[in-house]
Amino acid sequence: MGRSYMGIPREEIPWFPKINKDKCSGCLTCVNFCKNGVYTIEENPNPDSASTNKWDKLKKRPKVENPFNCVVGCSACAQLCPMEAIEFPERKEIVKTIRELALKYQGK
């Protein structure tokens, strides 16, 4: 078994960021802040300066490369994002999921 959270395999807990490409400005604050290696910088091989979608225009943009490196419950990157482009699941849903998974793994 790899990393776990409260005895639950981390890969079963859906707590990780998602980047809203319509809001992201490519400032890379998230990449520079997160010390857990959740994000990497994606090189856009064909930036399209004529596109009306700013995501397509970016030369460098953040990518959630290692979602399960994210600390369960941490959303600091979302709080720091100046464009409010980082989204996390609802905490109450994650708490419910963790409770259900804890029961599943309790006896193992």
- How many CB atoms are located within 10 Å of the residue 92 CB? 8
Q: Per this entry, what is the length of the chain? A: 108
The answer on pLDDT for 30 being more than 70 is: yes
Domains in the chain and their CATH numbers? 4-105 (3.30.70)
Instruction: State pTM to two decimals.
Output: 0.87
- What span, in angstroms and rounded, lies between the C-alpha atoms of 98 and 108? 15
Residue 71: DSSP 8-state: P
Q: What pLDDT, on a 0 to 100 scale, did the predictor assign at position 57?
A: 86
Q: What percent of the chain has pLDDT over 70?
A: 96
